């Protein structure tokens, strides 16, 4: 199967429920809904989701590969992510397309590749050690909460160069609230009327305060005398030359994107990794061996298998600007295609025994894509894997990890991410003590 110039006019099949019902089912029960839809309708499924868009889920690797390799003029990822616009902003690297996106990506890329990426290792290690040494030994705790706190500290340091002071302390607190949203909250993002009431009004007020803090930080940084000597992302963006210089509004949107996307997804991936390791003693023992030996290839494989077994983002989005044939169907211009990470990662055709957590498994080309693909592959992918590798290693050098309950935690939809329903509760014990019992 392949994408090609349309010769047919039939739309893909899908449920006929009202848009509001489909939106709620998709937003709240996506992890359970998608496999059922695939069994009933196949690998190309039409849905209607708020706000006012028709989408087509794709669960076939060959078709997904064609989407990722298709022309960026036809497949608009920025328009596909329009649901995030009220929070991320219209200039966000996630929300722009074509030339504007290329410009933003060019400016952000140096901070997350090459020497800059290697330079973050000591920072990540320092903050990780400080965090895990505070963990309660022998008592259950929600490791997802601790991973969110850690990855937020890391990205604050990467973006601002510092994480101290009353302004950043308030920003840290507010960002915690921003990521704690559900499917109903998203309705308020796109409805000024709802924003006058209750939780939607409070969410709008928090977002406004985040903006005030960021604009104040940008103003102070612009006036800094040592700007050219700093290596944090904000300073880098403020020192770009000539026509590439960013306005305050553009800076605000990129900073919000980095702060939210740069910590929430990695934190959740790590929480799922510890959730699985706590329930798989043999894999945990091999992870401890890898931590002791400095076997970062295996430690990274643990993180990658956690992302495969528990996709953090269920799908990526591309809005098509012209009619496109997908298998035996046509996707009209204006529709959004959703290459489904969840459907591919959980498909036994691509991953034998998909329910088994197995870091030794190898991935065929195109069957593992938690960071998306093509020209829009997440520019922070390398940074995320670096963080995860360091964190898993530092934890297993110190602790053994066990589950509070042998049963797996349910998956819960939180805004666009899929998180452990009870926070990935674990118990840790010092390895020296554990070995002596």
Domain boundaries, given as residue ranges, for the chain: 3-435
According to the model, what pLDDT value does residue 435 have? 46
- pLDDT over 70 (residue 331): yes
Q: Which of 236-245, 316-325, 363-372 has the lowest mean pLDDT?
A: 236-245
pLDDT tens-digit map of 395-421: 999 999 999 999 999 999 877 789 999
* 111-129 mean pLDDT: 93
Q: Could you tell me if 330 and 324 are in contact, meaning their C-beta atoms sit under 8 angstroms apart?
A: yes
**Cα 61 from chain centre:** 20
According to the model, what pLDDT value does residue 64 have? 97
According to the model, what pLDDT value does residue 45 have? 97
Q: How many Å apart are CA 93 and CA 103, to the nearest integer?
A: 9
Cα dist from 112 to 43, 199, 259, whole Å: 34, 35, 14
Q: Which two tokens stand for residue 107?
A: 């400016």
Q: What are residue 435's phi and psi, to 5 degrees?
A: -70, -25
- pLDDT over 80 (residue 263): yes
Strand-by-strand arrangement of the 141-142 sheet: 141-142, 425-430, 399-403
- pLDDT over 60 (residue 4): no
Q: Which two tokens stand for residue 152?
A: 């937020």
Given the structure tokens 């924003």, which residue do they identify? 195
Q: Which of 4-18, 215-229, 350-364 has the lowest mean pLDDT?
A: 4-18
pLDDT tens-digit map of 220-253: 999 999 988 898 999 999 998 888 889 999 999 9
According to the model, what pLDDT value does residue 332 have? 94
* 106-128 mean pLDDT: 93
CATH superfamily of 3-435: Cytochrome P450 (1.10.630.10)
* 144-157 mean pLDDT: 96
The reported pTM is 0.92
Q: How many Å apart are CA 172 and CA 220, to the nearest integer?
A: 18
Q: Which of 66-80, 190-204, 393-407 has the lowest mean pLDDT?
A: 190-204
| Average pLDDT along the chain | 91
According to the model, what pLDDT value does residue 1 have? 42
- pLDDT over 60 (residue 8): no
Q: How many Å apart are CA 419 and CA 180, to the nearest integer?
A: 11
């Amino acid at each position: 199967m392949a994408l090609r110039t349309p010769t047919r006019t039939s739309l893909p099949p899908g449920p006929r429920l009202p848009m509001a019902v489909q939106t709620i089912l998709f937003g709240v029960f996506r992890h359970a809904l998608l496999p059922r839809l695939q069994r009933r309708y196949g690998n190309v499924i039409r849905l209607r989701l708020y706000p006012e868009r028709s989408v087509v889920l794709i669960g076939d690797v060959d078709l997904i590969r064609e989407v990722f390799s298709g022309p960026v003029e036809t497949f608009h990822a920025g328009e596909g992510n329009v649901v995030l616009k009220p929070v991320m902003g219209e200039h966000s690297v996630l929300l722009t397309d074509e030339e504007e996106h290329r410009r933003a990506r060019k400016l952000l890329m140096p901070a997350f590749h090459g020497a800059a990426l290697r330079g973050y290792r000591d920072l990540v290690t320092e903050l990780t050690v400080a965090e895990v040494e505070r963990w309660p030994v022998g008592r259950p705790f929600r490791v997802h909460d601790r991973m969110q706190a850690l990855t937020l500290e890391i990205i604050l340091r990467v973006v601002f160069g510092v994480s101290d002071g009353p302004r950043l302390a308030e920003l840290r607190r507010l960002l915690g609230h921003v990521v704690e949203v559900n499917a109903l909250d998203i309705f308020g993002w796109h409805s000024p009327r709802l924003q006058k009431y209750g939780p939607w009004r409070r969410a709008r007020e928090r977002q406004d305060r985040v903006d005030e803090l960021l604009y104040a930080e940008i103003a102070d940084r612009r006036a800094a005398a040592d700007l050219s000597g700093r290596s944090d992302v904000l300073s880098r963006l403020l020192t770009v030359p000539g026509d590439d210089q960013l306005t305050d509004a553009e800076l605000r949107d990129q900073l919000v994107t980095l702060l939210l996307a740069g910590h929430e997804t990695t934190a959740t991936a790590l929480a799922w990794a510890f959730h699985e390791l706590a329930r798989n003693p043999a894999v945990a023992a091999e992870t401890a061996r890898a931590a002791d030996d400095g076997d970062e290839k295996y430690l990274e494989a643990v993180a990658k298998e956690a992302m495969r077994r528990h996709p953090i983002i269920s799908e990526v989005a591309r809005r098509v600007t012209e009619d496109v044939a997908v298998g035996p169907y046509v996707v009209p211009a204006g529709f959004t295609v959703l290459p489904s990470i969840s459907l591919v990662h959980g498909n036994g055709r691509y991953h034998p025994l998909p329910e088994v957590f197995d870091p030794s498994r190898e991935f065929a080309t195109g069957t593992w894509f938690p960071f998306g693909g093509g020209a829009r592959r997440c520019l922070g992918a390398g940074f995320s894997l670096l963080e995860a590798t360091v964190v898993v290693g530092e934890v297993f050098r110190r602790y053994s990890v066990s589950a509070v309950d042998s049963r797996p935690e349910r998956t819960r939809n939180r805004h666009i991410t899929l998180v452990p329903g009870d926070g990935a509760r674990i118990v840790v014990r010092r390895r020296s003590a554990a070995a002596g019992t």
